[in-house]
């Protein structure tokens, strides 16, 4: 049952600072009930109990944390159709997409449960004492990772489950031993409350401190900003716009104790069409591009928003196939009116740009529905007009026609940081691809051959990150098991009596975690 209440630890209360309403994306009508916005006092209480819970929660065993993550996943599944129906209404996304995202959400909770049980994330290192070493003896040194402290998480608009209340940021922070305060996205408050109650119930069932998890709604920006600024919060997980991400980074940097903001923000995910591949299958690539571009109304952070190609054999076939495919597409409902408005604005700028040609548009639709589009420009124009690199969040892409390989490389050199870069190649392109790869590695977190960035596998080897402005920290990923490292820090214990050592670094190793040991002499 959805009540519109805040979840502050184990308690519920009606927020008193304004109201938020879920909106049915397809019709624009309000969905009951209304949600009370959190006051600063509510946020302060959530941060206080998270801080009080931290030392207890971070000392839980790997098994205890794994059980929490698995219990959250099973509770989400137990919500059944109530969750799916509400999420479909609030987002306008098709039911099959939401069901798939629910599976992904539960799957990543299970992934982190397995990571925690395995124990390598603790990175235990033991250097035994060397009392007879000359000229100086070595003390006994032992290192393990601990959680950084309470973490603030901001739910994303385009993934109401997998990047939201119990999404990757929350799962990895809990796995690291960090209490979490989630600021729900206002586009899907009902979905957020349902999942939040599933997390709250799991915390209670596992007999963990109530401050391990809280969920708040924000009717204004003040509470979101205060969450980042609160001195008890030690890290932020965020997925959203560049403007909001940079604003949070600035708030965090101005704190007396600056903290990391792990923000996934803006990416146009270039797709490079190499000459041999273009000549061999230009038309096929054109059709595949449109399928990737229009998936989910183009509302993916890995959507292919830029195409780079040399004007050579197969180029015309590629453009013709893409034109035909996009012309046949139907308009799709976008997540929110605000996202639709921003998409329309970005497309209008491309349509009216003096150096851009409209290749084709999809079929027009109704209110809050996006009409897909493909546009074209030259490499010279792209290099001269910085605004052509701006992300248009939705089903729109810009083809950059290059005269030769040298010009294509020049365009790549001028690109900002990206989440993904895709290379469409055949064997005849290998030499050029080999030459270009070191540059591409500097530009993106994930390189893809003969595919597109849409579809992010939740796995050990996945990187969902990249140089700014794709993310705020190029060293991290927000998807995959490596995401846990964002919320950990190392602590070294020197010359500690065995009775005082944490379980992970003790010789008894009751947790059975991997230990890298230098036995000394």
State how far the Cα of 302 lies from the Cα of 266, in Å rounded to an integer: 9
State how far the Cα of 3 lies from the Cα of 422, in Å rounded to an integer: 44
Angle between helices 40-58 and 222-229 (to 10 degrees): 30
State how far the Cα of 346 lies from the Cα of 365, in Å rounded to an integer: 17
DSSP-derived 3-state class of residue 365: coil
Confirm whether 264 is a catalytic residue: yes
DSSP-derived 3-state class of residue 176: coil
State how far the Cα of 508 lies from the Cα of 420, in Å rounded to an integer: 44
State how far the Cα of 26 lies from the Cα of 246, in Å rounded to an integer: 31
Confirm whether 435 is a catalytic residue: no
* CB-CB contact of 486 with 235 (8 Å): yes
Burial 333-355 (b: 16+ CB within 10 A, else e): bbbbeebbebbeebbeebeebee
Distances (CA, A) of 66 to 148, 172, 245, 261: 18, 11, 30, 25
The two three-digit tokens of residue 324, written as one number = 């035909």
Phi, psi (rounded to 5 degrees) for 380: -60, -45
- Closest to 471 in 3D by CA, of 273, 256, 139, 236: 236
The one-character DSSP state at 237 is: E
- 270-273/418-424 β-pairing: parallel
The two three-digit tokens of residue 240, written as one number = 């959203």
Active-site residue, selected from the candidate residues 301, 391, 402, 407: 301
Active-site residue, selected from the candidate residues 101, 264, 376, 407: 264
Q: Which residues are catalytic?
A: 264, 301
């Amino acid at each position: 049952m959805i009540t519109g209440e805040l979840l502050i630890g184990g308690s519920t209360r009606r927020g008193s600072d304004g109201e938020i309403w879920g909106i049915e994306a397809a019709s624009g009508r309000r969905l009951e009930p209304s949600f009370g916005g959190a006051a600063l006092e509510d946020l302060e209480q959530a941060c206080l109990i998270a801080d009080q819970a931290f030392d207890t929660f971070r000392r839980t065993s790997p098994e205890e944390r794994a059980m929490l993550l698995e219990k959250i996943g099973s509770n989400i599944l137990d919500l059944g159709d109530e969750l799916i129906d509400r999420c479909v209404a609030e987002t306008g996304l098709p039911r099959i997409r939401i069901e798939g995202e629910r599976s992904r959400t539960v799957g990543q909770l299970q992934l982190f449960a397995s990571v925690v049980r395995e124990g390598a994330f603790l990175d235990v290192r033991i250097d035994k004492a060397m009392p007879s070493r000359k000229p100086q003896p070595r003390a006994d040194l032992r290192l393990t990772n601990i959680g950084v402290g309470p973490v603030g998480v901001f739910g994303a608009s385009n993934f109401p489950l997998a990047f939201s209340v119990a999404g990757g940021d929350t799962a990895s922070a809990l796995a690291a031993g960090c209490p979490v305060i989630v600021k729900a996205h206002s586009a899907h408050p009902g979905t957020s409350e349902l999942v939040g109650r599933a997390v709250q119930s799991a915390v209670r069932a596992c007999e963990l401190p109530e401050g391990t998890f809280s969920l708040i709604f924000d009717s204004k920006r003040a509470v979101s900003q205060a969450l980042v600024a609160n001195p008890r919060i030690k890290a932020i997980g965020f997925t959203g716009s560049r403007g909001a991400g940079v604003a949070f980074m600035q708030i965090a940097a101005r704190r007396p104790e600056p903290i990391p903001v792990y923000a996934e923000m803006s990416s146009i995910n270039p797709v490079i069409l190499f000459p041999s591949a273009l000549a061999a299958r230009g038309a096929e690539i054109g059709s595949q591009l449109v399928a990737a571009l229009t998936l989910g109304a183009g509302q993916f952070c890995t959507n292919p928003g830029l195409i780079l190609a040399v004007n050579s054999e197969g180029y015309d076939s590629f453009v013709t196939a893409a034109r035909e495919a996009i012309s046949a597409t139907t308009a799709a409902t976008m997540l929110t009116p605000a996202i639709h408005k921003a998409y329309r604005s970005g497309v209008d700028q491309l349509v009216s740009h003096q150096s851009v040609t409209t290749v084709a548009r999809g079929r027009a639709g109704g209110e809050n529905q996006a009409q897909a589009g493909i546009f074209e420009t030259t490499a010279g124009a792209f290099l001269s007009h910085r605004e052509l690199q701006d992300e248009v969040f939705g089903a729109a892409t810009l083809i950059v026609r290059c005269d030769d390989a040298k010009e294509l490389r020049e365009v790549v050199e001028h690109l900002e940081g990206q989440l993904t870069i895709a290379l469409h190649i055949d064997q005849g392109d290998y030499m050029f691809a080999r030459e270009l790869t070191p540059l591409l590695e500097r530009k993106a977190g994930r390189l893809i051959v003969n595919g597109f960035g849409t579809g992010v596998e939740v796995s050990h080897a996945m990187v969902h990150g990249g140089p700014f402005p794709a993310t705020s920290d190029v060293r991290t990923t927000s998807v995959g098991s490596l995401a846990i490292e964002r919320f950990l820090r190392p602590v070294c214990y020197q010359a500690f009596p065995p009775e005082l050592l944490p379980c992970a670094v003790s010789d008894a190793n009751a947790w059975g975690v991997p230990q890298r040991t230098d036995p000394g002499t």
